[in-house]
Amino acid sequence: MAAANAFPPINVRYLDRADFDAVRWDDCVAESTQRLFYAFSWYLDALTTGVGAPHWGGIVAEQAGQYVAVMPVVYKQKYGIRYAYQPDYCQQLGIFSRAAIDLAVLSSDFFDRLNRSFRWVVSYRFNEKNENELQFPTEFSVIKRYNHVLPLNKPYEEIYRQYATDRKINLNRARNVGWVVEEKPDIRPLIQLHREHNEEKAVGGIQLDLTIYDRFVKAVDQLKNRGMARIWLARKEGEKNAEAGGLFVADRDRITYLFNGASPTGRKQQARLWMINQLIEAFAGQPLEFDFESPAVGAESVKAYYQSFGAESRPYTEISYDRLPWFITYARAFVRTILEWKNRT
């Protein structure tokens, strides 16, 4: 006979979006020790609804009717093959669990369900808290990525002293420009600014699916509806046109620099630096962190720029694997070679 105080069993399974309870999902994410806004169902719903949109589901650990750990997975389907990948505007996903859950024990069940549900994972990034909670299977291809986060729990003067000399010099230059920073209700002007001046360099020559911007607008609307989004645009005093802008997402103890754009004038005359410094100054001394959301791949100069504010470098893990039958793998490589040849010629 089982002991009266024995814990109920934990059932781990994969569920597509239509099959799980969004209320219980979001409650688990909200109460998790790894909480990030990327993992809420309403945010992922917005990014996966519309023309050309991917799909998403999740691995759910349920105990006594409560979701105690969840792992969102975004995926696409092509030629009958379903493959998982890391979507735009979701730097980190991974496992989100309640405080009482021992992920060191439970994670093997999550990895087993991931393997069963997806034969091919192009890329999947776990959150920074998972670094010390998970032991990744040796059959996964594992890459360490690095993000940059600035603790704001010190007085502004102390944070400012950590700035690199170049940041201090350029901040003084920006002060002489006369930047005016205004909060705006609509993300579209900032997207247009980014598209005109920054998109080509940001995508690195990769053909961009432009429908992502429509879905991003929906996701930002969801953030705004919950009072989590601040859209800032900077213009010169006496002028109408914005020269730079940023989208900042505030969720509990973290402010994330999710999106930005700047014209050549805005870049040269340090409008983004001016905005970032204003935000740091406004929230300094509070139990918050400013997440620069460093690019996962490449952009070493951008990462160095964020580090120059005194930000901490924090690792997180990206995995990938390919368990497709050999003939599908070779066929995929052949098609890719043909397409590359056509692009060249």
Mean pLDDT for all residues in the chain: 91
Question: Does the structure show a pLDDT above 60 at 178?
Answer: yes
What mean pLDDT is predicted for residues 241-260?
Answer: 97
The pLDDT assigned to 81 comes to 87
Tens of pLDDT, residue by residue over 12-62, are 999 999 999 999 999 999 999 999 999 999 999 999 998 889 999 999 999
Residues 102-126: tens digit of each pLDDT: 999 999 999 999 999 999 999 999 9
Average pLDDT of the residues in 296-312: 91
pLDDT of residue 296: 86
CA separation, residue 45 to residues 36, 105, 141, 216 (Å): 15, 30, 28, 11
179-222 pLDDT, tens digit each:
999 999 999 999 999 999 887 777 665 667 788 999 999 999 99
What confidence tier does 344 reach under pLDDT thresholds 50, 70, 90?
low
Higher local confidence (pLDDT), 301 or 58? 58
- Indicate if the pLDDT at residue 339 is higher than 50: no
Strands 55-63 and 66-78: what pairing?
Answer: antiparallel
CA–CA separation, 111 vs 115, rounded Å?
6
Contact between 191 and 217 (Cβ < 8 Å): yes
The more confident residue out of 329 and 235 is 235
Query: Which structural domains are found in the chain, ordered by start?
Result: 10-145+317-344 (3.40.630.30), 153-287 (3.40.630.30)
Hey, what are 35's tokens?
Answer: 């909480």
Percent of the chain topping pLDDT 90? 81
Q: CA dihedral defined by 291, 292, 293, 296, rounded to 10 degrees? A: -130
- Amino acid at position 109, single letter: D
Residue ranges of E strands in the chain: 10-16, 55-63, 66-78, 81-84, 96-97, 120-125, 141-151, 179-184, 229-236, 242-251, 254-262, 289-291, 312-322
Q: What is the DSSP letter of 4?
A: T
List the one residue out of 124, 156, 129, 128 whose CA is nearest residue 140. Answer: 124
Task: Report the C-alpha gap between 318 and 297 in whole angstroms.
Answer: 11
pLDDT at 150: 98
Looking at residue 38, what DSSP letter applies?
G
Supply the pLDDT for residue 241: 93
Cα(289)–Cα(110) distance, rounded to whole angstroms?
A: 29
Residue 343 has pLDDT above 90, yes or no: no
Q: Are 89 and 52 in contact (CB under 8 A)?
A: no
pLDDT over 80 at 340, yes or no: no
Cα gap 181→49, rounded to integer Å: 32
Amino acid at 210: L
Whole-angstrom distance, CA of residue 254 vs CA of residue 248 = 10
What local confidence, expressed as pLDDT, does residue 330 receive?
53
Give me 116's structure tokens: 């069963």
Q: Are 70 and 39 in contact (CB under 8 A)?
A: yes
Q: Which residues contact 224 (CB under 8 A, 6 or more apart)?
A: 185
Rounded-to-integer distance, Cα 175 and Cα 159, Å: 18
